[in-house]
Chain A
């Protein structure tokens, strides 16, 4: 990866034959042009591939403004019912690198909480209101909400508070334990600590 001078929107970055379009660029005719103002990065493709290098431009404030399909997001559960859990996306990136100015609504459906035994799962046994979850966006969804999924080991509840109001720590892939207080265990779909 190498970075170079700052490109402005509309700046010609080269012909399409010698550069692949990346984030922040667009194709017009047979040339690649910049779409945003920022430093240009050239990424060489992995050795087996013979494709030309990818040119991309990153925004100084963060790579993304909105989540795309496949983006890992962090959010807080706002509502649960028998079929789905509603949460609001607060930040993009698995460690919350890009904090959104306005939270976006999203939904995790019952069948997207886990990979295995999805018909036996209960939403109440996986999430509670107020939990902070890490999920991946699987679809733009409808006008109301994005669709997200926690069906991977590293996805799920990251932080939770017990019913008594005490902090909890994860002890297995499906339980949190209260720190102090009564030391009770509560069932959640826990994100693997990486």
Chain B
């Protein structure tokens, strides 16, 4: 492979993450799913974090339980997504006249996001994610209100969910299910950022993911159990099929659906559970968007008041967003169940 001459390259043979020897008496416990099959993990969502973009959002699924002491390897990965929206902005000069908004969505994993280091150039799975996301957003944006303009939605995944569980040197069985949860998160984050940018949308779109897993470990019974919001590290090697939907709750519409694997007789149940997951996520999304708008309205009122009254020295600038360190715990919004 040709080396990238514009950057400082890693060693040509690749790098491997360190494998730590386990302390003999602290046996690493494989994480299992402790929540109910129809319970979603806690989410964190905040809008308005990038002042220079038209709209932005930060989405995170933090690790749900405390780490076991004595181990340096994180046992539960988390999902962290940043989304920025630029637009509506004028199209390039040689573009044809378009009576609707030209939406383009780009998804990129940061090189440090996954266990195996990713490259700087977008690969096929990232382009695939971008295509799915664009399909989801196309059904929700009212394009005819923005003629001759384009809008770019850029997502960066800072920490992607691992496909399996690699602590203690055990082999990762993989299967590529982590990307489904990532897409669900991307849809939700993009929706929050679009609303933050003030682009007309039909509804708040939320992403939900569900999976069919073997009832027992590795086979046994024929019918699987459908679970909501599968964390791949908890279900390593157990997932038979998974489905992601982009769902509009007020219209009861699905704008995007991606199903992988063989769900057997449970296709309809799988889709229904994914829609249910999306409904749970929407509650968090609505609250985060509302907080963001209220902060903006408050800022606008402050500015109007300051402009009206006499100016004294330098004006105060109230920063909203995740600049307040140490208060993240207060803002974890629990999904209702």
Contact = CB atoms under 8 A, between A and B. Distances in A.
A143 interface: yes
Give the interface residue-count category, chain B: 35 or more
Contacts of B296: 60-61
A8 interface: yes
Interface string A18-39: 0000001010100001011111
B292 to A, nearest CB: 8
Given A9-B201, A66-B146, A143-B148, A28 B251 contact: yes
Given A37-B289, A59-B198, A9 B203 contact: yes
Contacts of B93: 143-144
A38 B294 CA distance: 8
Contact of A33 (B95, B250, B289): B250
A171 interface: no
A26 B89 contact: no
A143 B95 contact: yes
Contact of A37 (B54, B248, B293): B293
A35 B140 CA distance: 10
Nearest to B90: A104
Contacts of B202: 9-10, 26, 28, 33, 35
Contacts of B88: 65-66
Interface in A24-80: 24, 26, 28, 33, 35-39, 59-61, 65-66
A11 B200 CA distance: 13
Contacts of B322: none
B286 A8 contact: yes
Interface of B: 54, 88-91, 93, 95-98, 142, 146-149, 195-196, 198-204, 248-251, 286, 289-290, 292-294, 296-297, 299-300
10 contacts: A6-B294, A8-B290, A10-B250, A28-B251, A33-B203, A36-B201, A61-B198, A61-B300, A65-B88, A66-B88
Interface of A: 6, 8-12, 24, 26, 28, 33, 35-39, 59-61, 65-66, 101-102, 104-105, 140, 142-144
